[in-house]
Amino acid sequence: MTEPSAPGSSPTTDDALPESVAAVIGVPQYEGDAGFDAEMGYVWTSLASVENGNPLFWDADVAEALAGGPIAPPSMLSVWFRPHHWAPGATDNLVPLQVHFDLKEAFGLPEAVMTDNTITFGVPVRPGDRIRSRQVLRSVSPPKTTKLGAGRFWVIDVEYLNQRDELVGVETYTGFGYRRDGSS
């Protein structure tokens, strides 16, 4: 059985990747920013929602002593790239982790789960930073069968950089796209 091919590509064997998928491994895609700067209002709202009273984020003197000034909690990394679902004049429906949805479509896999998420932190996010992200497909497995069904695993990095091109962090996601009926 052959896998679905992207328009303009040739059919592949069960283990081979469609040309359209192989061509984007290691290539940054979907670079953009959320359209707003990091600011303490977001930080304090996030901290209040989980009752995080760490003085590093609330006390300017502590922040100066420990971090050279105010910073956002590292756990807020993905906040700074999530575009609002609506903005005046916007015409696209934006979804986070678009590469994941591209892979589901390329392989005809209607179901998917994230099986792992790892975050590596770089320089801290500071008020006024404009964070941009880009998605990089790192790998796609040969077809696999699990208790969920038949499909493929893939690894996607979301790289975050500030306006000075400093790496703020990387979120690495492992996803599994599958069909419950057993056909990949």
Q: What is the DSSP string of 38-100?
A: --HHHHHHHHHHTT---HHHH-HHHHHHHHSS----GGGGGGGT---S--TT--S---TTHHH
Instruction: Please tell me the distance from the alpha carbon of residue 133 to that of residue 82, in angstroms, as a whole number.
Output: 9
Q: How confident is the model at residue 183 (pLDDT cuts 50, 70, 90)?
A: low
Provide, rounded to the nearest whole percent, the portion of the chain with pLDDT above 70: 88
Q: Is the pLDDT of residue 11 over 50?
A: no
In this predicted structure, what is the pLDDT of residue 35?
Answer: 82
> Residue 143: helix, strand or coil by DSSP?
coil
Residue that is written with structure tokens 């922040």 in the block: 63
Mean pLDDT over 156-168 rounds to: 97
Q: Is the pLDDT of residue 17 over 70?
A: yes
Domain range spanning residue 154? 19-179
CATH number at residue 79: 3.10.129.10
Mean pLDDT over 118-147 rounds to: 96
Residue 93 domain flag? yes
Residue 106 domain flag? yes
Residue 8 domain flag? no
Q: How many domains does the chain have?
A: 1
Q: Is the pLDDT of residue 93 over 50?
A: yes
Q: Is the pLDDT of residue 99 over 90?
A: yes
Residue 75 domain flag? yes
Residue 77 domain flag? yes
Residue 100 domain flag? yes
Residue 121 domain flag? yes
Least confident range of 35-39, 73-77, 91-95: 91-95
Residue 28 domain flag? yes
In this predicted structure, what is the pLDDT of residue 82?
Answer: 74
